[in-house]
Amino acid sequence: MKLPEGLAGVIVDQTRISSTKNEILTYAGYPITELKDVPYEEIVFLLWNLRLPTESELVSFRRELVSQMKLPAETVRLMERIAREPQHPMSILRTTVSLLGTTNDNEHDEPPRILAKMLTAVAAIIRIRNDQPIKRSKPDFGVVENFIYLFSGKRPTAEQVKMLNTVMVLHADHEFNASAFTARVVASTQSDYYSCLTTAVCSLKGPLHGGANEQVFKMLETIKQTGQDPLEYVERQLESGQKIMGFGHRVYKHGDPRAAILREIARKISYETGNEAYFEMEEQIRDFMFEKTHLHPNVDYYTAVIYHCFNLDRDTFTTMFAACRTAGWLAHIMEQREEGCLIRPSSEYIGETNRHYHADKEAHLNE
């Protein structure tokens, strides 16, 4: 029996964290459309506890996360060296996560502290690569406000916080995606949190998973810088068999619900920052792609323009995805560890059989 390509549609385990059943994304049973404006900290609490926090719990949880948005001094010293190397930022993040697993009493690190460190590490990588000093979090800022401040160096407006909060909520989790499942496999061995997160980062780096947002903006930049007609460019790519990144989804055949929300954010922020040409180009390509292929934009398509409007370099887009998705990764790691069962699937062998070493060696010698 031939299995579906990429195990598409194959149920490998159960989860209470999130679902994409019937092409509707829900977090612990709540539709994402009802959660898009909920504070990020509340979404993290929901994913980790499978219930909404009380007001006092939310205040306490937010305070705990913000208080931990700092990195060990020894980690910073090493980061300042490796982050300047001509490597992809996701490679630097991969090494940084591994470093965090070897410093500062990491055996006692729990998810709130780990998430806070991850957000701070991503911001620090962005700052170091821009030859800017690393900032320290502000105790009176929320998590998202602090995150923007840490990577930009400026206090964001309330509107900027609201927009990035929604982006982070929409990226927080997505059922058994490649990186979450990778983290769960490692977690099933009872390995530590940082080992699990390192493998998740490695998985997210690939262009078919988290790296797609970078490829979307690379396309837009190429079209703009070369003065090409967007539709002619896309048509040539399709005719040559190239994949147009940011379109189609294995789960959402009738449109990614996250993309619909992100589209409005991309529209708003692009016009507010003088980047409307990129958004208008996306709209042209969106209509053309649906006409030609019946594919809809996915979560990566509009996120690319949004990140650009936050003055982020294209090669850091996937690290932003990692920052947002860490909450979900940690939720899956915790759930898998509680399950206490090693993930060890079987495979169907389809190679050669009835081969014998000595007979084959003798045959080769006689040739």
Mark whether 249 is an active-site residue.
yes
pLDDT reported for residue 6 = 64
Per mean pLDDT, which range of 89-98, 100-109, 178-187, 321-330 is the poorest?
Answer: 100-109
Cβ neighbours for 166, distance < 8 A, ≥ 6 positions apart? 36, 37, 261, 262, 265
300 an active-site residue? yes
Range in 186-195, 202-211, 308-317 the model is least confident about: 202-211
Q: Give the pLDDT confidence score for residue 109 in this predicted structure.
A: 86
Name the CATH superfamily, with its identifier, for domain 212-309: Cytochrome P450-Terp, domain 2 (1.10.230.10)
The active-site residue, picked from 249, 296, 308, 332, is 249
Name which residue leads in pLDDT, 354 or 106: 354
The residue ranges of every structural domain in the chain are 18-207+315-339, 212-309
Query: 343: burial class by Cβ within 10 Å (0-12, 13-18, 19+)?
Result: middle
Of 107-111, 121-125, 165-169, 273-277, least confident by mean pLDDT is 107-111
Quick one: pLDDT band at residue 138, thresholds 50, 70, 90? very high
Catalytic choice (174, 300, 308, 332): 300
- Model confidence pLDDT, tens digit, residues 152-164: 999 999 999 999 9
pLDDT in tens, 118-135: 999 999 999 999 999 999
Record the pTM: 0.92
**pLDDT more than 90, % of the chain:** 79
Q: Residues 230-238: what's their mean pLDDT?
A: 95
Q: How far apart are CA 115 and CA 325, in angstroms?
A: 10
How far apart CA 305 and CA 192 sit, in angstroms, is: 35
Look up the CATH number of domain 18-207+315-339: 1.10.580.10
